Structure formats: structure tokens, C-alpha cells
Structure 1
Amino acid sequence: MSFVPGSSRHPGPRQLQGSKPGLLDPTQPARILRHPNSTLCFAAFDPLAASGHAHPRKRTPDADPARPKRIVIETTPGNRMPSRWRFVPRARRAPGTPGSEDEGVWPRLVIVCGEPFILTEDQWDIYKLDPIYDCFIPAAPHHSIITRKEPSLQDASHTRGDSTAEHAKKRRLSSPALDSEEHRNLNKKFRTVVSLVTDDEGTDIEEATESDDEDEVEDIVIEELPRKDPSSSDRAKQRRKAREEQTRERREKVKAKAGSSFESNRSRTPEIVDLTMEDITPPGSTTANGVPAGSTKRKVFGGQDSPEETSSRGRTYQPNKRARTLSPGTARADMERKRAERERRRMAQQQERMNGMKEQREQQFWKGVFADTPLPTPPPSQHNDGSQRTAEDTRLNDEDAERQAAIEESRRKLAELEKDRPLWEQEARKRAMQEQMEEEARRLRKEEEQLRAAEAAAQERQRQRAEAAAAEAQRRAQSEQARVQQEREQRRRKERARWSYGPWTTGRAIERYKMLSDEFDATKFSVDNPADFEMIPWPVLHSPVTLRLEDIEWSAVEAFFDAAKKHMRTQDYKVFVEKSHKRFHPDRWRARGILKSVSDEELRNCLEVTANTVAQALTPIWRAMKG
């Protein structure tokens, strides 16, 4: 029953997660699970965890110990059957995709049979385990694709799997240790195929597969089993030695077989691939010989070329495991040598091209020199009745003369060119010196421009800092002025409240005058702290609530000092008059800048007239006190 997903009813791709097969294809569990009710779980294989020891025994070192290997573990319900595990095969890759083990970040969008789904890594591995589906990773930015294989490809895959399973059961010699009850349940899918690839120089290089890792797993299992007697170790060594000998012989046969057809099949793709490594060509593409990718698989050994061994029980074993023929260091050194040889050939070809271009330039130069040489004109014949022999001799002599003249002209031009060589060299030196001077001038101009730009930037920063400082100072001055004005207003309100209540008497008038006089004499007037009418201690007996500029007259000043004379002692009165006279003197006001601090011109004029009136009224009183 085929599976063709319908159109999605959801606005976005459906998400497939978990390790349960058959979410889209109901027939999938029958192809993957050994038991209908088994459960799958996926993990990364680690030889240390498989051995159960923190310090494993000496084994073959892995060339890439950091690469992850995904395995699938099948567990039956109720543990009625032992759990089994195997490696998850790789997906096919497009040419140029990075990495061989890393298949990207999960979950991600995957096109399953033409419909997009969000798949987790477990669901992706389930489709890789299913033999009727093909998992392909194209180059970025395309999404991964899962398609259903053709029926012919599925039949070939099943045939190849059966053959592989049959060979996998015959991969080792029989022994009491392996034939015991403890080894009957050891059934894993070991890969038994050798892959040969050809590098750029045509040298056969063996491609590493997962068989070495699986041999390591098998060795771990065998080493962890209890040994019944000392002879088991000897038998294991003999089996290992026999296996290495078989691998060596098989490798020699493969090399001999590959070398015979190397010249005709040099550019062909590898004929022998890993069972778990599908072809990396996109779906629908074919190989160089027209066979569909992944349809068939040739075995390494066939017929009389397949080495066979016969055990003591009469069985015939066909070993299909081979070890590495070259160490990574040897292969790397060989590649470096070939790369150096290619570099030498490239340099030789480049030198040859340069020599050819130089020779071509010289030939063009000589052609130009000979082209500029005028051909001599033969003189007209003076004897028309000469014999034909004389004419022919004359023609030959003329040709020799022309040739000789051309040679002489060429020699002359060459001599002139050689004579002018010092001039050419001198001109070349002058041009080089001129270019050097111009380059130096450009460099100096560039440095000067950079210096001017740096100076301008510094000046701009300084100007900005100055503006910021001025703005900050102005802000502080305004804040201070506002604070002073606020304090002044508060003080005025307090004074007004103080002198506004209660009966107004002569004593309170004199007391208020003295208090305002002390504050007036101590205040420094400026534009930020200007003088006003209420700050000046006017010597009158009027109440500050009703006092106006029109009330300050000559008679009011005389009445104030007459009342003060009655309330004060004579000596105190003299001091009082002396200070008042100096306080309202016009020169004193001008020196203190009282009037300049007032910004309102009308108020300034009124204050000036009133202060002069008080000063003129105080002058006779001060003189009478002195007399």
C-alpha cells in the first residue's frame, strides 16, 4: 500500500516528533520493528560507554573521535526479548554540502513526499531506517527531501540487504567462544564493503567507512565476555591474525583489479560504495555510465577472486572486511608531494608563457624597425638596347644593393637606439623621481589635510565644551537669581506681615528704618540683584502698607528726624543722622551702582528723584547738627 499525503489543512507545516514510526505511513512499523509492539529510542554511540570501563583496553585509535554516530535501540514490551541495536544509516548528500556526519539542526522543515513537515531528528532517523524511503540533503538554501524509492530500487535494496546479511554471518572463523550460548544473540548489521575513490592525480585512496567502528564494537563485546580458559585468548589472537592476513590478500587483489582498468575508468565515479552511505547525487540524476544512483551495487569480490577459508566444521567463509592500507600520515604526505609537483608544473608553465610573451615583444619591435626602413628605388635604365643577360645581372645587383642598404639602415637604427640608451635611462630615472616626488607631495597633502581636520575637530570640541560651560553658567546664574528672588519675596512677605498688623507708631517707624538700613547697607546691588522700592529704607513715618513714592517729600523727611530726635539720645541721634546722610548721598549711590542695577528705566528715574529729595532734606539737618 503506497502512501501519498494529502494537502495540509493547517495554516503551517505539521510537526512530527517522537520516536514512534508510522505517523504518516501506517505500514512503516512493519518494515522497521522486529516486534509489532516494540519501541524505539535513539542515542549517540560511545565505545567507552559500550565497554563499561573508564580506561578501555588498547584498541585501534579512531581517526575522528569527535564525530557522533547515531544508533537505534529496539526494546520489546515487557523485556520478553533482548533489546537490539544498530547504527542509523547516513542520508544522501548533494555535492558541496559541508560535513559528513553532521546533518544540521533539528527540528527543521523537511519535504516528505512533496508536502512540508516539521521533523525532529528521531523522525528523520526513522525514515532513514525505512528501506522504501530515500532521504536526501541538498545544498543550501534548499530543504531536506524524503521521497519514496522506485519499486526496482526497493527490490535491489532488499537483494543487497539479504546478501549483506548472509556475508555478515560468515565474517569470522568459528570458535568455541563465539559458538557458545552467550554469542548466539550477537546479531548486528556490520558493513563489509570496501570503497575506493580516486583523487585529482588518479591515485586510489581508500575511503573510511563505519566498519572499523563496528569492529571496535565487536571487539569490545568479545573482550567483555568471561573467558573460560587461557586457550580462548590464543584462539582470539589466531582469529585476528587470520583476519588480517585475509584482509591483506583481499586488498592486494582489489588494487590489482583496480589498476588494470584505471586508464579507462579514471574519471568514473566509485563503483563500490558503503551500504550505509547512499549516493550523494540529487534524486533523478544518473551516474556516468547511465545507471540510476543507488539502484545496484557490485560486490568487491566475485567468483574465483573472492578469498575463501574453510573451518574445521566444513563451512566456507568469505571474509568481507579489510583494514586500512595506508596510514593517515602516509596519505597526507603523498597528497603534499602531489600538490608540490602540481605547483612546480604550474610555475614552469607560467615561466614558459612569460618567455613566449617576451620573445613576441622582441619580434614586434624588430618588425617595426624594418617597417620604418625605406626601400631604395632602382635607377632608371639608361640603355634600352642592352641584352637580357645584362638586365638580369643588373636586377640581381639591385636586389643585393637593396638588401645591403636595408641591413645597413637597420644597423644604423640599432646603433642610434643603443647610443640613445643613456638618454632613455636618464628619462626613466627622471620620471621615476618625478613620480616619487608627486607621491611624497600627495602623502604630505594627505597628512596636512588629516592634521587640519584633527585641529578643526579639536576646535569644534573645544567650542562645544565652551558653549556647554557657558550654558551651564547661565543656567546656574538663572537658578541663583531665581533663588535670590524667591528669598527676597519671602522676606518681603514676612516683613509686610510683620509691619502690617497692629497700630503704627513713631517707634515702629524708626525701628523699621533701622532694620532696613542695615540690610540696605550690606546688600551688593547688580543686574542679577537689582534694587527696588521696598528694599530702600525711606526715612518717613508712613506705614509701609500705604507708602508710595509720592509720599516721600521734604516735609515728611524733616518730620521723621524731628520725631527720632525726641525718641533718641543726643549722641545716638548724631550718629543716626550722620549715617543717614551718607546713605542717601548721590555719590554713594553712584559708587554702589544702585540705580544701574534697575533695568526698568521709569522706575530708575523715580528712585533717583526720590533719593535726591531725601538727600537734599537731610543736608540742612546734618549741618544744623554739626553747628
Structure 2
Amino acid sequence: MSFVPGSSRNPTSVRAIQGTKPGLLDSTQPGRLLRTPGSTLSFAAFDPLTASGSGASHSRKRYDPEPARPKRIVIETPPCGRGQSRWRFVPRARRAPGVEDEGVWPRRVIICGEPYICSEDQWDIYKLDPAYDCYIPKWPGDPQITRKEPQLQESSPFAEDTRKRRPSPSLETEGETSPKMHKRFRKVVSLVTDEEGTEFESATESDDEDEVEEIVAEEFAAGAHQNYGTKPTKDRRKESRRKEQREKLKANFTSSSFESRRSKTPDIVDLTMEDDSPPLESTTNGTSAGLPKRKVFLSEDLLEDDVHRPSKKPRTQQPSSRSTSQRKRERERQRMAQSEFRERMKEHREQQLWEEIFADAFRPAPNGSQSSSSGSSVDNENVNGAHTATGADHSLDEEEAQRLAAIEESRRKLAELERDRPIWEEEARKRAAREREEEEKRRARRTEEERRAAAAAAEEERKRQRAEAAAAEAERLARAEKERLARELEARRRRERERWSWGPWTTARAIERYKTLSEEFDAAKFTPQNPVMFETIPWPVLQSPVTLRVEDIEWSAVEDFFAAARRHMRAQDYKVLVEKSHKRFHPDRWRARGVLKSVEDEELRGCWEVAANTVAQALTPIWREIRG
């Protein structure tokens, strides 16, 4: 049964929560989920074929139209990458009868009575939180997240697993009276070192990892091929692999190296013997009966037969018949029991060693030994007493001599440490003082750098403000100057229009206007502040300046003007007029004077240049005619 994603149910009217950060709605949630404050969570899909090569994906020959939903895992990464990342499976939510999966995400979820659009990562975070209960009803109901009652939170197995480790059942009942205390014998645990204990731990942990992958792989294969059934040959192969694994595990625990380690210590101790009972003549490992025996740490009852039992029981049923949480709790109890056992054995050995050291350090000197002078130290007296006792008692074997030498070496090192204590304490104080001084110097240097940086930033800000103010003032002045020039140009145009617009326009007035504007044009200096105007250029045409346009400056208009001027002027005056006009409109003279450079508008400048060239070209044949 599938669910329609929550985005189709008016998602814009509710708030959306997403991401892998816990505590978006409940600020106390990170304290219940994160083992280390500041850790980050990430989610992934568990696949038993991960990192198994490209050929592993071809093992499934048939096409599966409805593949099984992969199991989700959560990975906790310590802050800044320090420490070891840990992962676990995300628990399943409670589902109503007939609901096969958790649907498509993101979707609408009712969290404590309020609707939210929840992503799959946030949904998994609430499933991991032992304080909340996640429930998926039948369609069309929305998933619901409610807060559990306090008594339910205390009894939740997930809360127990995430916050602390459960004590081993064997450790819980250690102090209680066992119902089988009437048995005569108890099993003695071998005194193994830390290096010997790591062999058992590595074997158990590797077997646990293989079992996790095997269980998930079996569930993955069972979910993927539920529509096609299973073949008897595959079941037989799986069963044979399980038998081989059990045989290997049994062989590891019953190997010769394990038996050789067990044979180094006594196997059976009669606890019914009293403290004043005579010692046995020999033990199972062949040690001398006269030697003093060390105390042995007892852990659990011995069965009737002295056969070693592996810590992991052989399977009597299919792995799928037992729940994953039950197998996980069993493995966790086994690991905790082994770890507690090694810690207690180590503490027991250290305590026994220190008891022997202090017992021998304050042992009185034997009879017949010579006491040292009253001015000698306690260490010299103990050393002389030990050597005297060693020389007197010839029955001590080599092991006892080595043990006494080790005790003396330990006492010597302790005395050296005590003697050097003032020296390294003084060095520690000096080092702390140097560190404080360096820290103060660094703090002062950092403060000075911050002050200088702040002063430089303030100076830069002042410079920027002054530059902005200067730029604004320059822009204001330029705008005012431009407005002034525009007003002056407009006034000049108005004066020119008023000057020649009154009265009838005749040929004589056209010639007079040309002569007047020519004198002003030849004497003017054109700059961007004093640009040339169309009205101030002496165009040689007979048309009235009121209606004159740049398009009216043509070759024929120039010829008509000079033909009329020839009729109204004397020959000598006409010749001077033509020569000055030819020089006035020559292109090189315009470029030398910068007439057109004073015009800002490029389009207007181009039009005037074409008009001036037309006048110059029309004047050239007239000028040649009067010179020929």
C-alpha cells in the first residue's frame, strides 16, 4: 500500500522542516540523540553489495518491478572530524494493519497536533528520538508524531541503548547468592593479558559484522524476490555457509593455542578447603606445590563437564525467525561482558602487584641480619634486608628472585620520582608562567592589531567620504556650468533670430548678413565652453535665417548666392569676398581652428561637416574663375 506524497495537499499553508539537524522544533532533542555535543547526523541507505565491485550488481538476473525498500542507517560524525564516526539502523515506525511501507517523502506529518511538511531525514530523526512515537495510519490519514508518556520513555529500549550500555547479566548477579552454590567446584578464569584478550574480541567483532551483513543481505534478497519465490539450491547453499561459519568459530575457540594458554593456570580449585588446609602436592599445570599461589579472580560457575563452551551458541533456527533487535542486544551483552571481564582482571592484577610491593617494602628483617646505622635511609635498610633474606633462604627458586628484583626496581623508580618531584613541579610552574606571559603578549599584540585595523578602516572611510563629497561637488559644478552654457547659447540663438527676422528679406540683406557673420566667425575662438552654433556660421545662401536648415546648404544655393553678390558688388570687392570665403570654409582651416570639436553631439557635428565641405567644393570653381 503506497501513500500519496504530502506535497499534493496544499503544502503552501503549513511550515516545512527539512535537513539532518535535530531540534528544529524541540530544543532538547539533540541532548537525547547526540552522543557528543556538536556532532552532525547524516542518513544513507544500507546495501550489502556496497564496495563489492562492479560485478556484484549483475548477480540479480531477473528484473524486479517492485524492489524492496532499502534499510535506512544514521551516521553520527563527531565535530571537526575528531573521533570515530558511528552508525546504526533507523528503527521502523508503528504502522497500521495493512500498511506496507512509510510512503513517499516529503509529505504532510502531524507533529504534536500541528501539521508540517516533513522530509524523510526529519522523519527518521523523530523515529530515533525515544521521547516521540511515530505512527503511520491507513490512507488517507497523515503520519502522526506524538510525545510519549514519561513512564514509556524510561522503559523504551532505544533510549536505553542510545544513552548508556546495559550491564551484563553475569555482572548484575555477581553479588547475589547463586542457586548452584552447593556445587563443589567452580571454573577458574585464565589470567590472560590484554594482548591475549584482543584475539577473542577481534574474532567476536568480525563474526558480528559478518552476521549483520548476512542478516541484512538475506532480508534484502527475500524482499527483492518475494514475487518469484526461492529455489531449494539457494537454501542449501545458505545453510552450508552457516554451518561452515559455525565450524570455523568452534575451531577458533578450541584451537591448540587457546588450550595452551588455558593450561598455564590452574583449571579447578576446591573452594571447600579452609584457609589453614594443607596445599595440594601438584596442580594441573605442573607447578610446584611448595610455591606460594597467587589469588585467582573467579567469574562464573563450572559446569559438570570441563568442556569449553563458546560464547556464541549454535543456531537452532533460521536467522530470520529472531528479531534483529534481539540479536543486537545479545551481541551487545557479550561485548560488554568481555570488556568488563578484561577490566576487572587488569584491576585485580594491578591490585595484587601493589599489595605485594607494599607487603615486601615493610617486611621486617629476618633473624641474624645486621641492622644498619640510624643515619641510613629506610630504602637502604629494606635493600640490605632483602639481600640478607635472599642469601639466607637458599630454597627460593629463580622465579622468586626475579619477583623480588622487580619489586626492588619498582621501589627504586618510585623513590626517584618522589625525589625529582620538586624539580618537575618547578619546571611546570615556570612553563605555566611562560605560557601566561606569551598569552598576554599575544593578546596585547592582537589588541594592537585590531586597533590599527580599526584606525585604518576609519581613515579609509573618511577618505571615501571626502572623495564622494568632492565628486558630488564637481558634478554639481559641471551641471551648473552646462546649464549656464545652454542658457547662453539659447540667448545667442534668440538674439540672432531677432536680429535678422524683422523686415522683408532681400538679396542685399542676405549679403550684409553674410559679411557681418563672417567677421564674427573669423574672430571667434571655439571651445567646449564656447561651442559653434548653426546660427553663427556664415552660410553663403540667399534663404532667410528664420527658415534656414542644414539640409538647405546645397551646391546650387552657394552658386546662386555668389552670382547675386557679383551683380550687387564691385569687381574688386567681389574678388576679395570670394578669396576670403574660400579660405574660411577650407576643411584644413576648420580642423586647425577646432570648429567642429566644440560640438558635443556627434550626429550634429557630422551634418555640419558635410555642409561645410559642400560650401568649400562649390567655392573652388568660383575661386579658380576669378583667378584665371
Q: Same fold (TM over 0.5)?
A: no
Larger Rg: 1
Which TM-score applies when normalising by structure 2? 0.32
Which TM-score applies when normalising by structure 1? 0.32
